[in-house]
Each structure stands twice: as structure tokens, then as C-alpha cells.
Structure 1
């Protein structure tokens, strides 16, 4: 707690670390508008109970001065009531959170003060007597007080003290979250009022200080009692009282009650101050009602333009309204940010509030736009991020690269990869220049897109993506080429696979086993068996070890060429290298036999597979049954179908139809009841 000396003045506060009055010295008063020095004193009054200096610009009083060695600053705002400044000085305090926009013009507290109390003789020029009150020490001695009796023990020997001392101590207790000693001091003052016949007692400033202390210490339960005490004492609340009460109701989350203070203020004949309106806006902020706050401000602005409000000469309303406009902008921004971090999807409300701000003529800064983009982290937020990005590009000359990277990531998370690519293109065309993070994010999106193309066999899409990467200066890596190769292989696009493989080599990317496997598969499906052999031999030559997939493709190639001796050799080579043929390997052989109308050979490999303790699956049975049925062997196909059913396998309708059709064509007798009902779907469940 910093020790200060404070004197309340008509247009502000005289504040200093040391305040002494002597004769024949100059008094300096600083005005925030003119910042000129004045030496005008209207009235000086020093009593045993309180001391006031009233300053104006039209009267000069000689003989009263301030010690020039003291560091004194008087902040004066012309045409403002006592304690009516919208910029808190001395007793005013600022709120660090969003509420700091709400001026503490209504505050009348200082923490611990070093107060100099001068008797009237020092003014009149008579014999000067001084008594110094250390408010910090005094407040410290009362910190544990709970009742008026506890206060009396400390203060009964202190004599009469200025009421400013009590205000300062009460405010200080509030700052220290000690509401009980603050209330005890007020109770003691009420007792002293009855004992002194009204010479000393709580006044409006004391009660306002107590309400302020209650607000600071979050002890809101006694607010109604304090208002009742004021009424009993015959003290009429002022606008400061109502402003403080509004904040207290807001902190109690009695939002409708807080907003109702506005009507009460008008009912009592007071004109709401800028702080009143700021506090009302803050209530809407606490309610997270951005639309309500905006509508309140728009209505307020209309009244101001029509001169229905703002006629009070005590305030510079033009300046205050600029502050209110800035404040509503910050409130809308914070409410939207809160909406974006809620678990509930409130993107529609955010977009509506943005449009409402446009209609109201509010223009959030680029920084506020960007901070809202940072709050967009979920998939459904992409639409808000995209809208904010569009606004920044249209209204501001620059945008942060980190924000663009965040948007690229967000669009990818929402599976809006093309939108992410558009942002990257804007970076290339309009700036700022993309960095490694931008590159990696876009490439990761291409990975996802190419992987999807690979899984679905959408080879043309994959080729487009590769071309797009090259157009934008993104060098495709092996995994990108491989994804397109696999897509071509799945689509049986042999020529496209060959071109992609060549392009990969020409771009300096070394083919991997995946590259060779996809190319071998495409060649096998195109029945380009000789080319497949050349690719296989080249792969071995460059030192790439074949895996199970590559061996399986070559087994299918040798089967297609009917080189079964080489096929046996290949299977032995696999085993010698620790790669055991799987059900997929045998399925590839049986499938190749079926395509080349070698159903008998396929049936032999079926038995060989079972001899190797490899259980056939649905694909094995379906391919073999269709091959036997199409090769005029309906009875054998029928028996295999029954066996598959007995083994618990669920076949599709294709082998069922093939057995029935073959039996009808070749006059075989089969029991359809044993086959059961025809499967409904072409694909297996």
C-alpha cells in the first residue's frame, strides 16, 4: 500500500506523498484538456472534522499555498462534479479485466494513505498546529476488528479524524478482502453520530466506500442492509451508489436486477453517467449476450444522436461515447470468443453477431479478427474461420502468417482440403510468404487426399493432385507418387501406372518396394507379363528386397503364364527368405487360374493350400466355385458351396447364382433346400 496524501477538491483530487500548507508558495493545478498551470483557489475551509479545497478558474486567493518541495499533482477535469470524473484519480481504482473500460468515477477509495491534517490556523495565518495521521498504521491496527467495540478500543484516543481517513481505511479493507473491519468502522461511526449529536457520523461517501469495499471483497450479502441503513440515516443515494450497486448485482449474477438499476436511476431523477452505461454493457458481457449488448448500444447511440441523452455538461460525452463504442466492440469480441470455446456448436450465433456488428457500423481490428480465428479449433468452426479470413483479406492490407497456417490446419481438420489449398495459394500470390510450417501443413493435406485416392482407386484425382502440387512449388515425395501408383493399380490403369512410375524416377524420387509392387500389380492386371518380369528383375538388381505383396503379384504373373514350375520355385524362395505364403498368395494363384479358365488347376491349388494348413476364406471359395461352375462342373461347385456353408462362411449371391445357373445348363441335380435361400446382397455381410 503506497502512502499518499489526498484532499478532495471540487473538480478532482489533490494528491501527493506529502501535503503541507504554508504561506507565500504557489499552487499548481493540471487540467487534462489544457495542461496549463493555474493558481486559482475559490475557497479554503479547514475544520476539525473535514478539510476541503474548492478550486475554480475565476478567483485567485493569495496567502494559501502548497509546499513546493512536496510532490503534488492535482488532476482536474473542468465541468465535472466532485468525484464525478470518468478517469479515476486518487481514490479511483482500475479493473484489470475487461471491466477496466468501466471507469471508476464512482469510486472514492484509496488503499493506505499517509494523511496530513492541518488545522484552520494554518490557513488563517494564526498559530500553526499540526497532527499527523498515519492511515496505514491505523488501518493495520484495525484489521482484526469485528465490532464497533473493537474499533473503539483503537480510535477512542485518536480524537476527531477527517472522514476521508475513514473512507480510505474502508476502501483499503475492501482491497485486502477484509469486509468485517470495514463494516465495524461504519458501525462505530453510527455510534459516534448518536454520541456527538450528529457532529461526526457516516455520510454518503462513507456508505459509497463501504459498498465499494463490499464489491472489492466479493461480500455481496449485506448490500440491501447498507441501503436500508442509508435510508434510516436519511442519506440519499447518488449515481455512484447506484453504479456500485449495479456491479454488486452483476457479481452476484443477478443480471436482470443489475439492468433494472437503469430504470431505478431514472425513477430517482438521476441522469445515468457514462459509467452507468459501461456497467450495463459489462452486465451483458457477463451474461454472454452479445446481441443484447449490441442492441443496447445501438439504442443508446440513437438517443445520443437525437440529443435525448448526453446533455449533462459535467461529462465530455463526445469523448465518452468513443470509449463506449470501443467498449462494445471488445465486448462483442469477447462474447464471440466465449461462444467458440463452448462445447456447444454456436457458430451460427457468431456469424449473426458479426453481421449485426457490420450493420451497426462497428469495425473490429485485424488483431481481434485474428484472435477469434485462433479460438476456432473444432471442425464446425471452419465456416467462422473462413468468414474471418475473408474479412481480413478484404479490409486489411496484411494478415499474420501464423493465422494462415492455423486456418490451413483447421480446414484440413474439417476435411475442407481444397479450402486449405486456396489459403496456401493466397500466400503464394498475395503474401505473406509461406514458411516450412505452411508447406508441411499443405503437404499433409495432400497426403490425406492422395491416400483417399489410393484407397478408392480414383487415379485421375491422384494425378490431378500431383500436378497441383508441382504447380504450387510443392515437390511430391515418394509416398505421394506411391499413392497414385496404388490408385492406378486398383483401377487396372496399366498405362497410367507406367507413366506415374516414369515421372517418379524423372523427378528424382527413388522407387520403393511399394512403388514396384503397385507397378507389378498394374502390369499383371493388364496381362503384360513380360514387362512385369523385366520390372521384377530390375527391382532385384537395384537391391530392393521383395515383400509378401510383391511375391504374391509375381505368383499371379507366373500363373497367368502357366509357368507352374517357376511358380513352385518362387514359393520355395519365399519360404527360404522367411516369407510364408498366405491365404492372399493362394487366392491370387486361384484367381489367376479362374481368369485363364484353369478351374482344374485352381482346384488342385485349393487342396495344396489346405495341405499347407492355410484355411481358405470366402474369397477363395467364391472364386473357385465360379471357376468350376463356368467350366461345366456344377456338381463340384455345389459341393464346395455346401462345404463353405458348413464351415460357417457367408458367401455372396454370385457363387450361389453360378451354381444354380451351371446346374440348369448342364442338367445336374442339386438340392436347393440345402443351399438355402439366395443371399440378398451381392456383397458379403
Structure 2
């Protein structure tokens, strides 16, 4: 059901459908009980293909002519539309008395209501460029109410047909001189022209024309002028109209203040708009403004309060979508709104959270979330999920987990997306723990997941197992592996590989063998990492015959030993003082076309140098340099020290300068 708009008239109330009129809507006059008035016939006319202007002209037998024109999209949006219509009331359009004698039919001079088809009239003038063109159309129309011209000028302006609008005013000026001032452009005509010429830089010219015609601007003129300057980007000039109106003896009305706030909105100056409103509120409290009896200031001020909240929200949203980081400004404006007692609604809080999409926005999102939880009884689940995602993007995973905990404790109940988002954050955290070997952190994360009803999956257990392996935490790795099995997760080759590595580092070779055999028994095919770990285990046990068998098994399954595999064997030999065996495996890897790297040479050189073989260690060092490998200072020092200890002769010039630790790749 459409809302009704009610405008007071001297003869009663004008009641019509909502300001954004559709075609063929109705309107009627409600008169006071003490006065009997006949209802007037009403016609709506629309200009332009988009029906952008709705105009009503009706002539009643009680010798009153009323005109109302309303744009479908008001100058300042829907919140300003009511004010715009109220401004039209100030024009006192009904005050122009038009004699129905001139509008009566030829039927015995009887007075009848006359329909004025403004749309058809404007259509016939759409191509007019001069006053002569207008005169050619209107010369046989008789005297028309000035409201008709106002409607046409506004319609021309809305359709960007400026030439016919100017031509109509020029024609009225001509009529003024011909009729001795009886017919001519008045204040309302010029206000209509001023509004029609918005965005074309003609405001100053129109004001000068008004001055030449002896027409004094009113508050509507200045309000329109403020809008014009705002749309032209002359924001300071638009705000200066406030002082100008007072200088001219006019009291700014609610429309003036609404327009000023909108100027701040266009400037994206939320703090300026808020300070302006606070100052305005103080003046209203002291009764320095709001004394105009033509307005219900108490009601109007409520609208202004709502308007400033909306403006601050829009400005903050604009700040958040900018490329620059304006989070500090958003937080300052939020605090300033608190101090001023202006609080956005929950919906506005949530829409601001949706605008937080970059990493640096997490602090704004967190603050807005806190405010919603403290001030409102509900919060949207989709907003919470967005915040969990945002916190993860900003690497604030614990903050994301806190939001998930709030969902569990306070509601709304998390959905599958909430679960997946939090689990994805745990994946990242556990992966980081795995890469850095932070096994305690990994265990803590697993416990946290279980506490919050999130069942750890296989990849989560594996991540913690790998972390334990890297940290050489054998006991913790065994416990995690058992807990994984107890929780119904089937270990994978990664699980077994991590456990084997932890056991190898703890020199629990027999336990490693049992784990290996169990892995084979349950049908898990070893990968290169598992084979490499077992090669290290066999080297540690000095079971080189089984090591040969293991390498043959790898070859039969199409798994080629890598440089890491041979390094594991050479490293194991070096730790056990078997430099000769390590040297043999060095030649074996060369024969199998596996190129040694820096780690290979460094381990072997140190093993030979410590095993009283300085000359062989020296030759390997020179060989590595000739191959373009950059060794650290540790093998260099081992060669020099071994040569000095065992009296070996080496050429330090060939070794070159001692490598800098900082330059090690």
C-alpha cells in the first residue's frame, strides 16, 4: 500500500500518494469541517522518457490554482525528497490567484474546472531556442498560470534541454514588458530555472539576471545555489552559503542544514559533518535556531540526527574502499560518534564490516564486532564468517578462533562455512608449526581443536608429527602417532615417515625397524623420504649389507636415490667416525650420476679432516671450489687445523681466503 503525503493548504490539506508518484495516481483536498469546498479535478503530467518529473496542475471553481512538482529522484536522495516537497510548500504556489473567467468554457460563461496538459505543452516547446519560438506555440493559449511555466522549466532541466528553459524565461520577460508587469517571471520562475541549470555553470548569470529584474532571492534560492556549488565540486563555496543567507536576513531552515551535511558527505569529511551537527545541536538546545513556526523543528531535528548517522556511515564506507589505508580515520570517527552520542544501527555496523576486505582492515572489523556484541542482542552469522575470514587473511588466527568461540558460546550457531574457515586457519597454523618445528605449538593447536568440537583430520596430525620430527622430539612424536590412531585416523606414508625420522634422530633403531615392518605389513608403500630415513637407520647400525638391499629395492620400485639419500648415509658414517666408508659412498653416488652438493662435501671433508686425513680433505675442498660450490668456513677451518695437527703440506692460496659466515648461501 502506498504511503500518503499530506501538505497543508489554506483551504485544507492536500492528500496524495507517495512523493515518488507513479502515473494515474490520485489526489484530493480534505477541507476543515467548518469550510465546505468542492473537490478539484487533478491531472498528472510527466516530462521525459523516464517520467522523471511528476507535475500536477488543477484549477478549481473556488478560484484557487494549486501546482505541485516532484522529481522522482530527489536532489539529495530519498531522505531529502520530503524536504524538497516541503520547500515547494514554502513557495506558496497556491497563493497565485488565477481568474477562472479566462479559463471557463464557452458554454454561457459558466465556470468549469479546466485541465491543463503540461506534458503536451512542454513537448511542443522541446525544440524552442528563442522567445519567438515559444511565442509561436503559446500565442493562442491565452494566459496560463505561472505554475505551468515552473513545471515546464523543471522538466526541461531534468531532460537537459536548457535552451527551451531559457527561451521560456525570455518569453516571460518579453510578456512582462508588453503587459506592463502583469505577466512576467517571478521568484518561483527563477528558482525553477536555477535548479534546471544545475551543473552547467550558469548560476551566477541567473542571479545577475534576477538582480536586473529586481527579484530578491529567498531561502529556496540559496538552498538551490548550495546544491549547485556542491555538484560542481565547489564545496567551500557551498558551505559559505550558510553565512550568506544570514547576511541577507534569512534564517536557514532544515533543508539548508540537510544540504550542508550532504556537502560534507560529498567532501568525504565525516569529522567535519559530525562537528557541524554537534554545533547545530547545541544552538538548537539554546533555542538560537529552530524558532521558525513553519517547521516542526522537533521532528526535523530527529531527521537530522538520523541523517548525520547515515552520512558518517557512508563516509567510513568510502574510506574503507579506498586504496590508501584509512583505518585510523575510521576508528577516530567511530570514537567521535560515541562522544557525540551518534550511534549507527546494527545493520550499518555490519555493512561496514563487509567493507573490510584488506589485511589492515582487521582492526576496524574487530572494533565493529566488539561494538555489535556489546550494544545489540543479535549479529548476522554471515558477518561473523566474514570476520573469521578477514582475521585469517590478516594472520590474526587466534582472533578468528575467538570469534568462533563466541559463536559456540553466544550464538548464532556456526554453520559448515564457519567450521571450514576455522579449520583452514588451523591448517595454516599447523603447517607453520610443521615447517618451523614448533611441536609444542602444534600440540596446543590440536588440543584447542578438540576442545572446540573440531575433529583434527589426518593432515593436522601429520603436521604435528613432522614438527616433532624436525625438533627431534621422539617421545612427543610417538604420543602423537598413538593419539592419531586412537582418534580413528589411519596413518599415511607421511605419518610413518615422520615417526621413523623422529626415532632415527633419537637413535631408537630397533623401534624404527618395527615401525617400518608394520608400515609394510599394513600395505603402506614407502616413498623416497621413508627410504632415506631407513638408509640413515641402517647406516647408524652399520648394517651396510642391508643398506645395499634397501637401495636395490628402491631401484626395483622405480625410486631413484637422491642427493639427500646419499647425504644421509655419508652423514651417518661421519657421525660414527667411518670416514673411509663415507668416502666410498661419495664415489658411489658419483657413479650413479647423483651430483654431490655443498652439504655432501662439507660433511665428508670434516669427517676426513677429523680422521687424520688432511691431504684428502684438502683435495676435496679444492675440488668443490673448482666445481663452483661455495662452502662454509667450518670445513675450511677443519682442513687447516688438521694439516697443522698432522703436519700435512697444503697450499693455502688454492684454498683461498677463509669464507665469511655471512656469505654462506
TM-score by length of 1: 0.86
| Residue 129 of structure 2: aligned partner | 146
Q: 1:465 to 1:402 in 2, by over 3 A?
A: same
> 1:104-503 alignment to 2 at 5 Å?
104=84, 105-107=86-88, 119-120=100-101, 127-128=110-111, 131-215=114-198, 219-503=199-483
Deviation of the 1:588 alpha carbon: 1.1
Match 1:610 to one of 580, 590, 602: 590
| Residue 636 of structure 2: aligned partner | 656
| Structure 1, unaligned runs of 5 or more | 1-5, 18-26, 31-36, 41-59, 76-88, 111-115
Moved more, 635-644 or 482-491: 635-644
Deviation of the 1:524 alpha carbon: 1.0
Contact 1:637 1:659 in 2 (8 A): yes
> 1:478-627 alignment to 2 at 5 Å?
478-627=458-607
Q: 1:130 to 1:556 in 2, by over 3 A?
A: closer
Deviation of the 1:16 alpha carbon: 7.2
| Residue 69 of structure 2: aligned partner | 91
1:407-428 deviations in Å (ceiling 9; x for gaps) = 1111111111111111111111
Match 1:101 to one of 62, 70, 79: 79
Q: 1:66 to 1:159 in 2, by over 3 A?
A: same
Contact 2:40 2:113 in 1 (8 A): no
Contact 2:320 2:326 in 1 (8 A): yes
Moved more, 265-274 or 146-155: 146-155
| Residue 32 of structure 2: aligned partner | 38
Contact 1:109 1:172 in 2 (8 A): no
Deviation of the 1:463 alpha carbon: 0.4
Higher relative contact order (CA 8 A, sep 6+): 1
Deviation of the 1:70 alpha carbon: 10
Contact 1:94 1:100 in 2 (8 A): no
2: CA distance, partners of 1:67 / 1:208: 27
| Residue 39 of structure 2: aligned partner | 66
| Residue 46 of structure 1: aligned partner | none
1: CA distance, partners of 2:169 / 2:511: 101
Deviation of the 1:674 alpha carbon: 2.2
Moved more, 385-394 or 535-544: 535-544
Look up the SS of the partner of 2:116 in the other structure: strand
Moved more, 276-285 or 535-544: 535-544
1: CA distance, partners of 2:612 / 2:512: 32
Look up the SS of the partner of 1:65 in the other structure: coil
Q: 1:99 to 1:16 in 2, by over 3 A?
A: closer
Deviation of the 1:684 alpha carbon: 2.2
Q: CA RMSD in A?
A: 2.7
1:101-147 deviations in Å (ceiling 9; x for gaps) = 2321335899xxxxx98714999x97325654211111111122222
2: CA distance, partners of 1:330 / 1:12: 35
2: CA distance, partners of 1:10 / 1:203: 21
| Residue 23 of structure 1: aligned partner | none
| Residue 664 of structure 2: aligned partner | 684
Look up the SS of the partner of 1:399 in the other structure: coil
Deviation of the 1:337 alpha carbon: 0.4
Look up the SS of the partner of 2:295 in the other structure: coil
2: CA distance, partners of 1:586 / 1:347: 54
2: CA distance, partners of 1:638 / 1:187: 106
Q: 1:669 to 1:121 in 2, by over 3 A?
A: closer
1:573-601 deviations in Å (ceiling 9; x for gaps) = 11121111111111111111111211111
Q: 1:569 to 1:69 in 2, by over 3 A?
A: closer
2: CA distance, partners of 1:14 / 1:553: 92
Contact 2:13 2:29 in 1 (8 A): no
1:339-372 deviations in Å (ceiling 9; x for gaps) = 0000000000000000000110111111111111
TM-score by length of 2: 0.88
Deviation of the 1:529 alpha carbon: 1.3
- Paired residues in the alignment total 620
